[in-house]
Structure 1
C-alpha cells in the first residue's frame, strides 16, 4: 500500500467537472496530495494518453458520452473515479457502466479524496494483473491446442499413438533448440500447405 501512496506524486490526474465549489474543493485536495493535474469542462471528445487517473462528474451526463471519452485514446483505460451528487438509479448505473474503480461523493470532503484515489489505484492495478494473467492463460491454452493438433497430424500420417507423436515433437524441439509449441506450429503449417497443394 505504501508504494501506491508514494507513487501518487507521479500521477497525472484529470478532473472533468463543472467549475463550481465541488470542483474547487477537489482541485485543492489533489494539489495537496502532490499530483500533477489538469481540469476541464465540458467532457472532451478525446482523453489524452498522459492521464493516469480521471475524476469525472457523471451527474446528468450521458453514459455513452462518458464511456466514449474514457476509451477515446485507444490505449489502456485509466483509473476512473466518478463524482456523484446523489445515489439515484441513473447515477449508480453510470458508475457501473463506465467501469469505475472507486466513487467520490459530493460535497467533496478532505477526508475522502486520498482514500478514494488509493482504493481506485489498487483496484485498477489488480484488474490489470488479472487481465495479464488471463492473457497468459489463453496463450497457454492456445499452445496446448496447437500441440494436440500437431500430434493428431503426426498420428494420422505416421500411424503412431499419442505418446509417440509427442515424443517426436519434443525430440525435434530439442534438436532445433526451440519450444515444442514452435515445432507444433511448424507441423500445422506444413500440413496446411500440403492440403492446399492437394486441392490444386
Structure 2
C-alpha cells in the first residue's frame, strides 16, 4: 500500500533536548530554516515540557537514568536520537525508546532534513501498523461470535455451515455491517423460535 510521505515540516514544534553546545546551536538554526518551531529544553527531557511537541530530538549521551518521560517504546511523537558516544550501554538506553532516526555528533546541517524525513514518516508508519494490528486482534477476538452465529443459523434454518455463513455474509453486506457485527446481533436476538430471533438473518 502506497502512502503519501510528509516532506514539509513547517509549523511543527520540535523540542531539542540537548545541552547548550554547538550541536544544539546547529540544530536550532537548521530546524528554524526548515520552518519548524525549534524549542531548546533541558536534557533529559521532563514530562511537562513534552506537552504539545510534534517531534523530539534528544541527547542519547545525557547523563544517567531516564532520557525521556515516556516508558521505553511508548513515545507519542517521532524521536531522533543524537549520538556521540557509541558505547553499548548508551546505545541500548537510546534504542529502548525506539527512535525513528539518528543524528551523529558533531551535528551538521546537511543531515538534519534527512533525519526529520525518516523520523516523521517512520513514526506515521508505525502508528498505522499498530492500528492495523489492533483491528486484526479485535476481529480475531470476534471470530468466536461468528462461529456461534453460524451454529445458531444452522439450528434455526436447518442448513449446513457453508449455507449459514453465506447467509450471514450476505445479510451483513445488505445491512452494511461487518460479519462480526452481524454475528453479535444474531446472538443477541435470542435462541431459535424467539420473536427477536425471527427478525435477524
- TM-score, length-scaled by structure 2: 0.75
> 1:24 maps to what in 2?
25
Alpha-carbon RMSD across the aligned residues, in angstroms, is: 3.1
> 1:98 maps to what in 2?
97
Deviation at 1:87, TM superposition (A): 0.9
**Which of 53, 56, 63 is matched with 1:54 structurally?**
56
Bigger fraction of residues in helix = 1
Are the counterparts in 1 of residues 149 and 187 from structure 2 also a CA contact under 8 Å? yes
Q: How many residues align?
A: 186
Measured in 2, the distance between the counterparts of 1:71 and 1:52 equals: 18
Q: Is 1:85 paired with 2:103?
A: no
Deviation at 1:160, TM superposition (A): 3.9
5+ residue gaps, structure 2, are 192-201
Measured in 2, the distance between the counterparts of 1:172 and 1:114 equals: 51
2:39 match: secondary structure = strand
> 1:136 maps to what in 2?
135
Deviation at 1:79, TM superposition (A): 0.5
- TM-score, length-scaled by structure 1: 0.76
Provide closer, same or farther for how the CA distance between residues 50 and 87 of structure 1 changes in structure 2, counting only shifts above 3 A.
same
